Structure 1
Amino acid sequence: MERTGEGDPAQVVPLLWRQGTVVGRTGLTVDAVVTAGCELADEGGFAAVSMRKVAERLGRGAMTLYVHVPNRAVLVDLMVDAAFGEVSYDASGDDWRAGVRTIVETNRALLTRHPWLLDVDTSRPPLGPGTIAKYDAELALLAATGLPDVEVDQALTVLLDLVRSGVRRVLAADAQAEGEWWAVAGPLLAQLMDPADFPFASRVGQAAGEEYGAASAPDRALDFAVETLVAGLETRLP
Structure 2
Amino acid sequence: MPLDRERIVAAAIALADEGGLEAVSLRKVAARLKAGPMRLYGYISTKEELLDLMVDEVQAEILPEERSSDWREALRNLANGTRQTALRHEWLADLLGGRPTLGPNGLAVAEATLAALDDFADIDTVMRAVETVSSYFTGAIRREIANLRAERATGLSRHEWQRASGPYLTRMLATGRFPALTKAVYDGTDVDAEASFATGLDWVLDAVAAKLTRP
Distance 1:193 1:124 in 2: 42
1:156 corresponds in structure 2 to 130
Moved more, 195-204 or 30-39: 195-204
Matched, 1:201 2:181: yes
- TM-score of the pair, normalised by structure 1: 0.76
What residue identity is the alignment partner of 2:73? A
Q: CA deviation at 1:184?
A: 4.5
The higher-RCO structure (CA 8 Å, 6+ apart) is 1
- Counterpart among 1, 5, 11 of residue 36 in structure 1: 11
What are the residue-to-residue correspondences of 1:114-125 with 2, within 5 Å?
A: 114-120=89-95, 122-125=97-100
* Count of residues in Structure 1 that have an aligned counterpart in Structure 2: 207
Gaps of 5+ in 1: 1-25
Distance 1:105 1:205 in 2: 28
2:142 corresponds in structure 1 to 168
**Which consecutive segments of 4 or more residues in structure 1 shift more than 4 A?**
none
Instruction: List per-residue Cα deviations over 1:137-168 (Å, max 9, x = no partner).
Output: 12222334x25223223322322232222223
> For the pair shown, which has the larger CA radius of gyration, 1 or 2?
1
Contact 2:133/2:205 (<8 A) preserved:
no
Q: Give the alignment's Cα RMSD to 1 decimal.
A: 2.5
Distance 2:212 2:29 in 1: 48
Distance 1:78 1:135 in 2: 16
Matched, 1:182 2:162: yes
- TM-score of the pair, normalised by structure 2: 0.83
Q: CA deviation at 1:181?
A: 2.9
Q: CA deviation at 1:65?
A: 0.6
Instruction: List per-residue Cα deviations over 1:175-231 (Å, max 9, x = no partner).
Output: x722123235335533453364332222222112xx21xxx7543432232121111
Residue identity (%) = 30
1:229 corresponds in structure 2 to 204
